[in-house]
Amino acid sequence: MLTYYSDDHHLHHGSCELMDGQLVPCFEKPQRAEHVLARVKERQLGAIHGPSDFGRAPLLRIHSAAYLDFFEGAWARWQAEQGQGDLLPYTWPARTLSERLPSSLHGQLGYYSFDAGAPITAGTWQAAYSAAQVALSAQAAIAGGAHSAFALCRPPGHHAAGELMGGYCYLNNAAIAAQAFLDQGRTKVAILDVDYHHGNGTQSIFYARNDVLFTSIHGDPVAEFPFFLGYADELGEGSGAGYNLNLPLAAGSGWDVWGAALETACQRIAAYGAEVIVVSLGVDTFKNDPISQFKLDSPDYLRMGQRIAALGLPTLFVMEGGYAVAEIGINAVNVLEGFQNA
């Protein structure tokens, strides 16, 4: 299996995040990608390539120009204001407030964020931009005839919407790749999100469309982040009615429950007649993940890859979450090996 990776991910390293009333070191850190890359090499999964640069045009198919301009320029504005530390929002246009775009940096940061989980540092734009190019390069390999490819993206992307960052995510790598398939002639793309947390950004991007089927298996948002999206009754709207499948599961779910949900998702993808699959590959479903509540074990990820392979479709894996750093490489690569060996 081809792997695409950029060392630019090291440019993004937030200093802290807010959890349970305390500032703690960020769970989303460079070691995550390092461990996955080391495991890819150890298992001799296949060739590793750097990304090509496809520019901003494919990003603009998913994200607005205003959002990209803000994100790219935010750090320079923060430095011009003599800002100290990471740039984080502290005010959002919540229900009783207007959604006007302010002129101030902090007002705009709140406007373009949905939480305080996406710190902007000196290298965040470049890291996120390169992650999107990694996804596009892996997508191009499949468009060129490869049966599968792995985009080792960092930072992750599935929480990012068209004009919103949050949940460690800035640019929606999976959505950008899915749109590229459509722009190059595919007519039916399926996205399978297996991250513990619902891919709210991906859902919102494609919610009113029928050319992308979005399926997600995740912690029940009644108790889990992102709380405000990911419920089973969210089925799509307009032309997208019936093209959104959420499979929320209770905390403590193991492979017996999770695997059954995967079967449901795969059957729906097959019935849709998908031509290609984009897998948002989060492995924070692992039993020892520090911020998640499922109970999958490392061998379960081999079975996950095998079931996805049984669909018989070209498949792009895009790295998302997974915060048990010592095991992230084993679990992510187990999915890829299970797929490849099937």
Tens-digit pLDDT profile for residues 294-321: 999 999 999 999 999 999 999 999 999 9
Domain of 57 in residue numbering reads as 2-63+131-341
pLDDT tens track for 121-169: 999 999 999 999 999 999 999 999 999 999 999 999 999 999 999 999 9
Pairwise CA distance, residues 70 & 150, whole Å:
29
pTM, full prediction: 0.98
Number of domains in the chain: 1
- The catalytic site residues sit at 159
Q: How confident is the model at residue 16 (pLDDT cuts 50, 70, 90)?
A: confident
Query: Is there a domain that residue 318 lies in?
Result: yes
> Angle at the Cα of 137 (from 134 to 143), degrees rounded to 5?
145
3-class SS of residue 306? helix
CATH number of the domain that 136 lies in? 3.40.800.20
Pairwise CA distance, residues 56 & 62, whole Å:
10
Among candidate residues 161, 162, 243, the one with its CA nearest the CA of residue 210: 243
Pairwise CA distance, residues 261 & 249, whole Å:
9
Rg (CA), the chain: 19
Query: Is there a domain that residue 278 lies in?
Result: yes
Query: Is there a domain that residue 41 lies in?
Result: yes
